[in-house]
Amino acid sequence: MPYIAVKGTKDIYKEEAEAYSYVESVFSSIASLYGYHEYRTPVLEYTEVFQRSTGESSDIVRKEMYTFLDKGNRSVTLRPEFTAGIARSILENKLYASEDLPLKVFYYGPAFRYERPQLGRYRQFNQAGVECIGVNSAEFDAETIALATSILNALGFKQLKVKINSLGDEASRNAYREALKHYFGAHIDSMCEDCKQRLQLNPLRILDCKVPEDQEIVKGAPKMGDYLSEESKARFNKTLSILDDLGVDYEIDDGLVRGLDYYSEVVFEVASEYGALVGGGHYDGLLKSLGGPDLSGVGFAFGEDRLVSVMKDNNLLLNSKHGLDVYVMPIGEENVNKAMMLSEEIRHYGYAAESPLNGGKLGSFFKKAIRRGAKFALIIGGDELAQGIAQLKNLESQEQVSIKLNELEKELNHYLDGEGE
C-alpha cells in the first residue's frame, strides 16, 4: 500500500463516525441546558499561547507539541488542548468586557500531542470540553463538575465517581513546592532524568511521574492537603458541600495534581465503572498570563476517542446509529423514477430513505436493505401502484401492510413512530 495514515492518527468512518457525532450531540445539548454556548477557535495558535498558559513545566509543552515555523518564520503550534486558545480568543475579542460574566462556552474538535501512540492514546485525538470564565466561586466550580457528571449520565454511564483535590491558592502552592523541593532534593540522584528537570521547573510535576521506581519515592512525598491556606481549605470544603447538595458522588484524591500548569484550587477527574473519562479544574492566573485581566475560570475536557471506545465495548452506543428508515424497492425498471420520487417525499417527512437507483431484482433489494440496516421496505410496482397503494414491510417482524400513497405521511407516522422511533 503506497500511502498510510500518519503515525498516531486514525480514520473515523461508518458506525464509529456516527458514534462521535452522537457523543457530540448529547454533549452539546446537555451543555446548552446549563447555559453554555459553542465556541470555535483555530487549530493553529502562536506557540507562546501554550507556552505561557498550558505551562513551560508541563509535559505537553516540554515534549509533546507539534510546533513548526510557518513560511513567515513565525512559530506556530497545533493546539494540544483547547483551554489556552479559548482564553486567548476571549481576551483578543474582549468578550470579558462586552458579555455577561461568566462566559460559558463549550467546544469539541481535534487536538494534537506528540505522544507514544498506544491503546486509546493518539497524536491527533478529539476533545470535547467546557470553560466557564470570569467568576471566581466555589459554586461555579461545583456546577461545572456536576455538568461533567450529567453529560456522562446522559451518555449512559451509571457508576460515576468524581476524584477531587485542591491545589490551593498561589501561597499554598508555593509552600507545597518548597516542601516538595526539600523532599525530592534528598532523593533526586536516584530519580529519572525527567524528574531532575521537573525539580528545577516545577516539583509538582514529579508527582505525575510514570517511572515505577520513582513512584515509590513519590508515595512518601508530603501531601498538598497539609499546605493549604485557611482560605483554600474553606473554599475546598464549600465546593464539597455543594457537591453533596447536588448529589454528586466524590472521593478526595490527595495525589491528583493534573499535568497542566494553569490549575489552582480545585482539580478533578470523573471516572466511571470503566476508568477515568474527564479531567479538569479551576484556574486563576491563566488569562493574566496571556496579558489579560485577572479573571478566573473552571472547565474540563474529555477525550472523545476513549469515550467512544469504552461506549462501544460496553454497548452504550445503541442510540447512536442514524439507520435507514425506509428502503424503497421498485418492481421493474419502469418504476425506478417513481421510487426515487417517493424516497424524496419520505425524506421531507423526516425519515431516512434510499432506493436502488440503478434498478435490479427484488431479492437483491432485500439483501441490500438488510445490509444497510433499513427498518422498513416500501415495495412499489405493478397494478398496486396504479391503484395508489404499496406494500410496507417491517424488516424485523416481517409484517407487511398495504398503505395508501396519497396518505404516505400519515401511514409512515403510524407505522414508523409506532415502532418507538
Which residues in this chain contact ligand HAM in the complex, by CB under 6 A?
A: 81-83, 113, 115, 121-122, 125, 127, 129, 131, 260, 279-281, 299-303, 305-306
Residue closer to ligand HAM, measured from CB, 173 or 375: 173
Q: How far is the CB of 292 from ligand HAM (least distance, A)?
A: 16
Report the residue number whose CB is nearest to ligand HAM: 303
Q: How far is the CB of 389 from ligand HAM (least distance, A)?
A: 54
Residue closer to ligand HAM, measured from CB, 9 or 197: 9
3-state secondary structure of 405: helix
Q: How far is the CB of 127 from ligand HAM (least distance, A)?
A: 5
Q: How far is the CB of 299 from ligand HAM (least distance, A)?
A: 3
Residue closer to ligand HAM, measured from CB, 111 or 218: 111
Report which of 90, 95, 124, 94 is spatially closest to residue 109, judged by C-alpha positions.
124
Cα separation, 198 vs 181, whole angstroms: 10
Q: How far is the CB of 279 from ligand HAM (least distance, A)?
A: 3
Identify whether the C-beta of residue 162 lies closer than 8 Å to the C-beta of residue 185: no
Residue closer to ligand HAM, measured from CB, 104 or 393: 104
DSSP character for 403? E
Identify whether the C-beta of residue 113 lies closer than 8 Å to the C-beta of residue 62: no
3-class SS string, 353-374: EECCCCCCCHHHHHHHHHHCCC
Q: How far is the CB of 48 from ligand HAM (least distance, A)?
A: 17
Counting beta carbons within 10 angstroms of the beta carbon of residue 233, is it exposed (0 to 12), middle (13 to 18) or buried (19 or more)? middle
Cα separation, 263 vs 258, whole angstroms: 8
Residue closer to ligand HAM, measured from CB, 10 or 187: 10
Residue closer to ligand HAM, measured from CB, 123 or 235: 123
Report which of 301, 311, 307, 303 is spatially closest to residue 107, judged by C-alpha positions.
301
The label of the residue with cell 395508501 reads 404
Identify whether the C-beta of residue 86 lies closer than 8 Å to the C-beta of residue 41: yes
Q: How far is the CB of 267 from ligand HAM (least distance, A)?
A: 8
Residue closer to ligand HAM, measured from CB, 8 or 156: 8
Residue closer to ligand HAM, measured from CB, 36 or 327: 36
Task: Classify each residue of 92-116 as buried b or exposed e, where b means 16 or more C-beta atoms within 10 Å of its C-beta.
Answer: eeebbeeeeebbbbbbbeebbbbbe
Residue closer to ligand HAM, measured from CB, 286 or 377: 286
Q: How far is the CB of 123 from ligand HAM (least distance, A)?
A: 7
Cα separation, 358 vs 345, whole angstroms: 19
Q: How far is the CB of 257 from ligand HAM (least distance, A)?
A: 11
Report which of 315, 310, 304, 297 is spatially closest to residue 27, judged by C-alpha positions.
304
